[in-house]
Amino acid sequence: MKKLRNQGGQKDRVLQSVRNLPGLLFKLGQGLKQESGRSLPAALITLAVGSMLLTPFLSFVSTRSLGTRAATETFNEQYASDAGIEFGIWSLLNNSAFRTQVDINSGIAQPLAFPGSINGYTPTISVTGLPLGSWYLRQFAPSNVERGGSLAYAGGDRVYALRGANSRNFGYYSISADQWFSLANTPNPVRQGGALVYAGGNYLYALRGRNTDNFWRYNITTNNWSNLEDTPSRVTRGGALVYDGGNFLYALRGNSNNFWRYNISSDSWSNRANTPNTVSFGSDLVYTGGNYIYAFRGSNRTNFWRFNISSNSWSSRQNAPATVNSGGSLAYFGGDYIYALRGDNSTNFWRYTVTMDSWTVLTDTPSTVGRGGSLVFTHSQGGFAFRGGNRRDFWEFEVTPPRYDISSQAGSVDTDARLEIDGSTKTILFWDID
């Protein structure tokens, strides 16, 4: 402020000197008449004085003019840079192909072309999807988990689990106690193709797998198993089971394209439309409410399908970001998202947005997931997972809404913003200008 006040005083003094210039020149002219012999020196003095007074004034005017032009250019650059941020936000919300590209390449900046120029500037834009969520190590499983390992959530404090690994081990994990407890053993050993699902009320259902047609029901209250109607054919690698929220369970046989429906009330099986291709290791099923069941093909492929219950038909959806194999698993709790472990001895963890038919890369699992890997969500923003792969690791996961970093540059101005998209709620977490 002191500098600005000094500049203002200098301006006033210059202007006052300019106002006095005509009078001073007149007096000098009169002096010239009286001292004609000194006319040339007097003229030179007059020019010198005029130069001394006008030069600072013209310099001041020029400086002010240059400053105004520079401020205008900076404003134009900032306006264009902000427009780039706004276009990035619009593209994430309205261009599903671009958002899918960003989601699949989480952590890698994706360029976005701005459609034109503003005030002579075309902003350079990039959008980066941020990996979402956090993993936490929980109490190790009592024994190593392998083929046939499977988790199921029945509400409340318990996550039920088949160990697989050609064993009869069955138990539950207490969420509040972070501790495992044993329950009645399964009637026979469970191996590849084993699966577990909660079907409401008091019962869990299970496929034995292991190239058998055994199908069981577990009574939570009485802690005992019972045999049910055998599956239509023997279940093996890629076997999977899902509950539709009503009177039916659906099952993949594995190592085939067979797809079945089980009627709970009549204890009977029936065939449904075959899957588009053969399923194998890593295949899984998930029900999202309403009329649809989704499926991983597994078998070291990226295929992801949707089954229409009412029309008994399959259709292809957006492929998974990478091939799915042993340990592949799907989970759903509610809302717009399906969660998935890739398996295949990888750390990849993904989320599928149902309404957009697109995949998002989430934070990697702490270690690689292999045979017997399984995922279950216990609430809308988190759940638990078996690592499998003949390991005891058991993890908890917490997810956050998708977040995106948007960068825009126009001229010398850089602008950065972060957008969070939580369903229909969109929040700008920050907007910085450099």
User: What local confidence, expressed as pLDDT, does residue 58 receive?
Assistant: 42
Neighbours of 357 (CB within 10 A): 13
Of 366, 361, 336, residue with least CA distance to 351: 361
The number of residues making up the chain comes to: 434
Strand 329-331 versus strand 337-341 pairing type:
antiparallel
The DSSP code sequence of 127-186 is EEEPP--EEEE-PPPSS-B-TT-EEEE-STTEEEEE--TTB--EEEEETTTTEEEE-PPP
Distance CA 107, CA 367 (A): 19
* Rounded distance between C-alpha atoms, residue 153 and residue 241, angstroms: 14
Residue 282, φ and ψ in degrees, nearest 5: 90, -5
Residue-level pLDDT at 98? 95
* Own/partner long-range contacts of 253-256 (Cβ < 8 Å, ≥24 apart): 254/192, 254/193, 254/209, 254/279, 254/280, 254/283, 255/279, 255/280
Tokens 């989601």 identify what position?
A: 103
Q: How far apart are CA 305 and CA 319, in angstroms?
A: 8
pLDDT beneath 70, residues of the chain: 1-71
Q: What are phi and psi of 71, to 5 degrees?
A: -65, -40
Longest dimension (CA), the chain: 134
Helix (H, G, I), strand (E, B) or coil at 61: helix
Burial per residue of 396-409, b for 16 or more beta-carbon CB atoms within 10 angstroms, e otherwise: bbebeebbbbbbbb
Residue 84 and residue 413 in contact, taking contact as beta carbons nearer than 8 Å: no
The full DSSP string for 236-296 is -TT-EEEE-SSSEEEEE-SSBS-EEEEETTTTEEEE-PPPSS-B-TT-EEEE-STTEEEEE
Q: pLDDT tens digit string along 344-397?
A: 999 999 999 999 999 988 999 999 999 999 999 999 889 999 999 999 999 999
Is 385 within 8 Å of 373 (Cβ atoms)? yes
The whole-number pLDDT of residue 17 equals 42
Q: Are 331 and 338 in contact (CB under 8 A)?
A: yes
CB 85 within 8 A of CB 431: yes
At residue 69, the pLDDT reads 65
Question: How does DSSP assign 390-433, residue by residue?
Answer: TB--EEEEE----EEEEEEEETTEEEEEEEEEETTEEEEEEEEE
Pairing mode of beta strands 425-433, 284-287: unpaired
Task: Output the six-digit token pair for 146.
Answer: 């392998």
- Output the pLDDT for position 84: 94
Please state whether the predicted TM-score (pTM) of the whole model is above 0.85.
Answer: no
DSSP helix/strand/coil, 32 = helix
